């Protein structure tokens, strides 16, 4: 990103509060600091639903406050859902689609998705119902996922930030092969993770910041027993390893534990403090502190939470724009789990809408 580019395009410094206040205006052509700003993909906008659904974000936040009051763990589920959606075939809601045939044929049935929380899908469909009831079928499921991820971060104590909107929902399924190829494995070392995310234009700072998503939520034994059996990862803190072995006595135990030892439900910078104490859960986490190129970044986030929040927002904003569908591409799903073409209820409502619009002309 160059200075010249920033003067000709609409870059927004997410961290400059004044710009957030200007969201409803069109005066976002000048970014104060290009280093902290992310270019906006054509077709997305900071005020996309301003007229068509002005209450969108307040409906979602109000409902999620209630959901998290009962179970804060759902925040982690929703954050991870957005990550999976965006990494596989772009933020197009394809992660939400339920296969129409039996057998593994979609993103949900690929191995990394087996640990996505079922409740997260229900929450998204419930939010979609509330939003469409208020505004009509104008808001995409992929936008709802992006807003829900942001609210999960901020309602867990993390940064609050504006989300560019206007994504459309995809028409095609992602196969399990595509899903596996796009989601890095927790058993990978830092060079593999960096190379994998570099294909999506994430640099080292982005990778370390995005991994900070693991400041909330859980991991199942299968995601980290590679570090316990047959030989214990020498990098892992001895007491931490002993505790993990109690939780996962064999390499195929189906239990789980918190990703962030120090503050498992709070979105803060303690994940990086864990890494500095050799208490990161996955190889992909801990190796960020072993690997020379990322060690310094981990340390800088561990000592400065505002810096982590800043970089996290930048990286999330990039992630939220990966291969999005906009304009006339894709569709606005009437049911987040199914494409409109295979949704009988949707076809029924189309008829109702036609009747309503006809009656307006009587
Ligand atoms: C960098 C590569 C990444 C790898 C290898 C990775 C891997 C994983 C794995 C294996 C789990 C646990 C699954 C289980 O055993 O239950 C997990 C959980 C989680 N991941 Fe990641 N992840 C990565 C990046 C991200 C990103 C970018 C985010 C979001 C910004 C994220 C957010 C989460 C959250 C919130 C959970 C907890 C989910 C829950 O509690 O339901 N991860 N991740
Ligand atoms: C990381 O993992 C890859 C693949 O297993 C391996 O080829 C590479 O040598 C490893 N890098 C380091 C620094 O350990
Ligand atoms: C892990 O468990 C499987 C059985 O589920 C076994 O075949 C395998 O040898 C074990 N691997 C290690 C590294 O202990
Ligand atoms: C922490 O990071 C913020 C945001 O980049 C920066 O403004 C601040 O000066 C840093 N604080 C310290 C003590 O370095
Ligand atoms: C939404 O689609 C899914 C998958 O086809 C289906 O199982 C579900 O019943 C649909 N929900 C509604 C409310 O139509
Ligand atoms: C959370 C979720 O929907 N998981 C799905 C993953 O795939 C399995 C196997 O097909 C489904 O049964 C789960 O519903």
Output the CA angle 224-152-270, nearest 5 degrees.
Answer: 50
Tell me the best of 184, 191, 292 to mutate to test the pocket of ligand 2, counting ligand atoms within 8 Å of each CB and taking the most: 191
Q: How far is the CA of 251 from the centre of ligand 3 (A)?
A: 6
Residue nearest atom 8 in ligand 5 by C-alpha distance: 337
Q: In angstroms, rounded to a whole number, what is the distance separating the alpha carbons of residues 302 and 296?
A: 10
Whether 192 lines ligand 2, by a CB cut-off of 6 Å, is: yes
Q: How far is the CA of 232 from the centre of ligand 3 (A)?
A: 14
Q: How far is the CA of 307 from the centre of ligand 4 (A)?
A: 6
List residues forming the annotated binding site for Ca(2+). 85, 88, 90, 92, 94, 107, 215, 260, 268
Strands 256-258 and 218-220 come out as antiparallel
List residues forming the annotated binding site for heme b. 214
Tell me the best of 114, 122, 336 to mutate to test the pocket of ligand 6, counting ligand atoms within 8 Å of each CB and taking the most: 114
Which domains, ranges and CATH numbers included, belong to the chain?
43-183+332-362 (1.10.520.10), 185-318 (1.10.420.10)
Q: Tell me the ligand closest to 251's alpha carbon.
A: 3
pLDDT in tens, 3-45: 444 443 444 444 344 444 444 333 343 333 434 579 999 999 9
- Annotated catalytic, 220? no
Q: In angstroms, rounded to a whole number, what is the distance separating the alpha carbons of residues 110 and 117?
A: 14
Q: How far is the CA of 85 from the centre of ligand 6 (A)?
A: 15
Output the CA angle 186-161-196, nearest 5 degrees.
Answer: 25
Q: pLDDT in tens for each of the 362 residues of the chain?
A: 334 444 434 444 443 444 444 443 333 433 334 345 799 999 999 999 999 999 999 999 999 999 999 999 999 999 999 999 999 999 999 999 987 544 455 666 666 656 688 899 999 999 999 999 999 999 999 999 999 999 999 999 999 999 999 999 999 988 888 888 899 999 999 999 999 999 999 999 999 999 999 999 999 999 999 999 999 999 999 999 999 999 999 998 989 999 999 999 999 999 999 999 999 999 999 999 999 999 999 999 999 999 999 999 999 999 999 999 999 999 999 999 999 998 877 777 776 555 454 444 43
Q: What are phi and psi of 228, to 5 degrees?
A: -110, -40
List residues forming the annotated binding site for substrate. 184
> Cβ–Cβ contacts within 10 Å for residue 200, how many?
15
Whether 77 lines ligand 1, by a CB cut-off of 6 Å, is: yes
Hunting for tokens 């800088």 — which residue is that?
A: 300
pLDDT in tens, 78-89: 999 999 999 999
Atom from ligand 6 closest to the CA of residue 109: 7
Q: What is the DSSP secondary structure assignment for residue 99, as one 8-state letter?
A: P
């Amino acid at each position: 990103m160059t200075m010249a580019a920033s003067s000709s395009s609409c870059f927004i410094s997410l961290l400059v509060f004044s710009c957030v206040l200007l969201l409803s205006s069109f005066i976002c052509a000048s970014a104060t600091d290009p280093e902290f700003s992310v270019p906006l993909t054509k077709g997305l906008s900071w005020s996309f639903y301003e007229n068509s659904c002005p209450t969108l974000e307040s409906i979602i936040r109000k409902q999620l406050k209630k959901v998290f009051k009962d179970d804060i763990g759902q925040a982690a589920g929703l954050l991870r859902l957005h990550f999976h959606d965006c990494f596989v075939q772009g933020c197009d809601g394809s992660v939400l689609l339920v296969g129409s045939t039996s057998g593994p044929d979609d993103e949900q049935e690929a191995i990394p998705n087996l640990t996505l929380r079922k409740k997260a899908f229900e929450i998204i469909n419930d939010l979609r119902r509330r939003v469409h009831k208020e505004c009509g079928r104008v808001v995409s499921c992929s936008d709802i996922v992006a807003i829900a991820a942001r609210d999960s971060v901020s309602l867990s104590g993390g940064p609050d930030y504006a989300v560019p909107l206007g994504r459309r929902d995809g028409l095609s399924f992602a196969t399990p092969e595509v899903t596996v190829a796009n989601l890095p494995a927790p058993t990978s070392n830092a060079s593999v993770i960096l190379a994998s995310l570099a294909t999506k234009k994430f640099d080292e700072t982005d990778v370390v910041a995005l991994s900070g998503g693991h400041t909330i939520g859980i991991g199942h034994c299968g995601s980290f027993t590679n570090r316990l059996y047959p030989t214990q990862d020498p990098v892992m803190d001895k007491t931490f390893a002993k505790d993990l072995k109690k939780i996962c006595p064999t390499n195929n135990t189906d239990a789980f534990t918190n990703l962030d030892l120090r503050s498992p439900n709070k979105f803060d910078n303690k994940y990086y403090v864990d890494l500095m104490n050799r208490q990161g859960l996955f190889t992909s986490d801990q190796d960020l502190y072993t690997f020379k190129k990322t060690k310094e970044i981990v340390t800088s986030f561990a000592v400065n939470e505002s810096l982590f929040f800043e970089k996290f927002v930048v990286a999330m904003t990039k992630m939220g724009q990966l291969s999005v569908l906009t304009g006339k591409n894709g569709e606005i799903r009437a049911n987040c789990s199914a494409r409109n073409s295979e949704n009988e209820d949707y076809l029924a409502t189309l008829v109702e809408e036609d009747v309503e619009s006809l009656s307006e002309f009587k």
